[in-house]
Amino acid sequence: MSTRYRISEDDCVRAGMLHAKPTRRASVVLILIAIQLGALLFLGIVLDWQSVGIIGGAGVIGGAVGWLTVSSLVNPWMARHSYRRYKLLHEEMELTVQDDGIRLASTYGESRLEWSKFLKWRCNADYVLIYVAPRMYYPIPSTVAAQGFDLERLKDLLARHVGPPV
């Protein structure tokens, strides 16, 4: 099973947004922090403790503004900047799924990666990201399915050998 694809700048940005999406564990932690800050805001209002209410309100507002700024401005800017500087990512890639892992090749070289070397993977309707390190991943666009590549089989193999998506 083999396919060829090229990652565009927009692909890099959208894959980066999937990468930056909080995991379930991180989402739970963020929700707990928001609940605690909301409780401070509530206590400050109910008990008329102005300083506590201000801290809680500032935390909620600052956290929301910070998250929106990073997710909608900083992360896309960094992904575009990285894509423009990472010239190897502009090359066409060939992905081959083998019994023991995957093979990625371009005009500059190839990598053979065993299933046991992958740390984790995640996917959405547009991309499959295969991680070899906590912040290093190989993006595979879902458009390869239109070329006859069995993307569902790749996901099944990843689930079997690496574990469920994060």
How far apart, in whole angstroms, are the C-alpha atoms of residue 151 and residue 125? 11
Tell me the pLDDT of the chain averaged across its residues. Answer: 88
How far apart, in whole angstroms, are the C-alpha atoms of residue 123 and residue 23? 12
Q: Quick: pLDDT tens for 13-55.
A: 999 989 888 778 877 888 888 888 777 777 777 777 777 777 7
Extents of the domains making up the chain:
2-7+90-161, 10-85
How far apart, in whole angstroms, are the C-alpha atoms of residue 11 and residue 151? 17
Q: How far is CA 139 from CA 62, 89, 95, 118, in A?
A: 32, 10, 11, 13
For residue 77, name the pLDDT band (cuts at 50, 70, 90). Answer: very high
- Does the reported pTM lie above 0.85? no
- Note the maximum CA span of the chain: 67
Chain length of the chain: 166
